[in-house]
């Protein structure tokens, strides 16, 4: 069984972000990492592969630098590495089209991805790709299991968790999973070094990137936190209680 995992490289969640000309300055990002929810998708894919056998295909769409993330995925066990050039890509519908075409090409029964990327947080990849490949889609899952041709998955519900079973081609978008993420090791790194990244373009996939109807106008850093306030003495009790109740909304 081919298991496909869709991965995105994002600025590390601890990296400093700078805005230049109304856009995030990618050149100033000190560390790029695999998006955290994608890591859970990958981990789950690796565990499925260990149980069912098969080939784990890791696909990303992005600039050259994203190939490094695929090699990182290989170091923990990804078998086939596919890099789709993001030349001409202007919005997430383009990314979905390219990923969907790549998924079809590798004939996977199951596609795993993060519920949202840590940079854009739009959460559109899983449902978007599912729509294009005509697959079932379950979002916010924490676990995926396979038995007798069916996938079953755990996701949160209003009253706890629910178990959802799906037949056939399925896309699962991962929340923070229940499995501990594995670390690479030297042996994995040495194997990964030997694995080739297959580079393909929109042309290779036969995808036409038509004009986009989404424009990103500007990006802004979050507002700075206001300075803390300090109160001393019993005479401030009423004021503090009022602030906690009405401003901080904590009591």
Partner 1 sequence: MAYEALDFYDVDSLLTEEERMVRDMVRDWVDEEVIPNIEIACREGVFPDEWRVALGEMGVLGAPLKGYDCPGLSYTAYGVICRELERGDSGLRSFASVQGSLAMYPIWDFGSEEQKNHYLPKMASGEWIGCFGLTEPDYGSNPGDMITKAEDMGDHYLLNGAKMWITNGSIAELAVVWAKLDGVIRGFIVEKNDPGFSAPEMKGKHSLKASVTSELVFQDCKIPKDRMLPGVKGLRGPFSCLNNARYGISWGALGSAQACFDSAKDYAMSRIQFDHPIASYQLVQNKLSWMLREITKGQLLAYHLGQKKDSGDWIPEHISLAKMNNVDIALEIARVARDIHGANGILDEYPIMRHMANLESVKTYEGTHDIHNLIIGRHITGIQAFTREA
Residue 186 binds partner 1, judged by CB under 8 A: yes
Q: Could you say which of 16, 65, 179, 236 contacts partner 1 (CB under 8 A)?
A: 16
Residue 79 binds partner 1, judged by CB under 8 A: no
Which span (57-65, 116-124, 182-190, 230-238) binds partner 1, by CB under 8 A? 182-190
Segment 133 to 172, residues that bind partner 1, using CB under 8 A: none
Residue 28 binds partner 1, judged by CB under 8 A: no
Nearer to partner 1, 9 or 108 (CB): 9
Residue 185 binds partner 1, judged by CB under 8 A: yes
Segment 99 to 128, residues that bind partner 1, using CB under 8 A: none
Nearer to partner 1, 71 or 212 (CB): 71
Q: Could you say which of 54, 88, 123, 184 contacts partner 1 (CB under 8 A)?
A: 184
Q: Could you say which of 17, 189, 200, 205 contacts partner 1 (CB under 8 A)?
A: 189
Segment 190 to 249, residues that bind partner 1, using CB under 8 A: 190, 192-193
Q: What would the DSSP string read from start to end of the chain?
A: -EEEEEE-EEE-TTS---EETTEE-GGG---EEE-HHHHHHHHHHHHHHHHH--EEEEEEEE-GGGHHHHHHHHHHT--EEEEEE-TT--SHHHHHHHHHHHHHHTT-SEEEEESS-TTT----HHHHHHHHHT-EEEEEESEEEEETTEEEEEEEETTEEEEEEEESSEEEEE-S-SSPPPPP-HHHHHHHHHPPEEEE-HHHHT------S-------PPPPPPPP----SGGGHHHHHHHHHHTS---
Binding site for partner 1 (CB under 8 A): 12, 14-16, 30-31, 68, 71-72, 75, 183-187, 189-190, 192-193
């Amino acid at each position: 069984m081919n298991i496909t995992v869709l991965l995105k490289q994002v600025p590390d969640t601890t990296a400093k972000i700078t805005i230049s000309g109304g856009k995030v300055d990618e050149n100033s990002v000190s560390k790029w990492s695999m998006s955290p929810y994608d890591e859970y998708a990958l981990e789950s894919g690796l565990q499925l592969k260990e149980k069912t056998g098969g080939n784990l295909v890791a696909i990303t769409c992005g600039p050259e630098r994203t190939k490094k993330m695929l090699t990182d995925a290989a170091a923990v066990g990804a078998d086939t590495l596919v890099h789709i050039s993001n030349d001409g890509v202007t919005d997430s519908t383009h990314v979905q089209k390219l990923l969907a075409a790549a998924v079809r090409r590798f004939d996977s029964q199951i596609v795993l991805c993060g519920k949202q990327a840590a940079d854009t947080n739009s959460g559109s990849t899983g449902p978007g790709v599912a729509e294009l490949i005509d697959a079932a889609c379950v979002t916010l899952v924490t676990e995926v299991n396979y038995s007798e041709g069916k996938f079953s998955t755990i996701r949160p519900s209003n009253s706890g968790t629910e178990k959802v079973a799906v037949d056939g081609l399925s896309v699962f978008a991962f929340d923070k999973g229940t499995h501990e993420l594995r670390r690479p090791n030297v042996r994995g790194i040495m194997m990964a070094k030997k694995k080739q990244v297959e580079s393909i373009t929109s042309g290779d996939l036969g995808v036409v990137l038509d004009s986009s109807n989404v424009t990103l106008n500007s990006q802004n850093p979050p507002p700075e936190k206001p300075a803390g306030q300090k109160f001393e003495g019993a005479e401030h009790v009423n004021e503090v209680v009022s602030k906690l109740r009405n401003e901080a909304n904590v009591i």
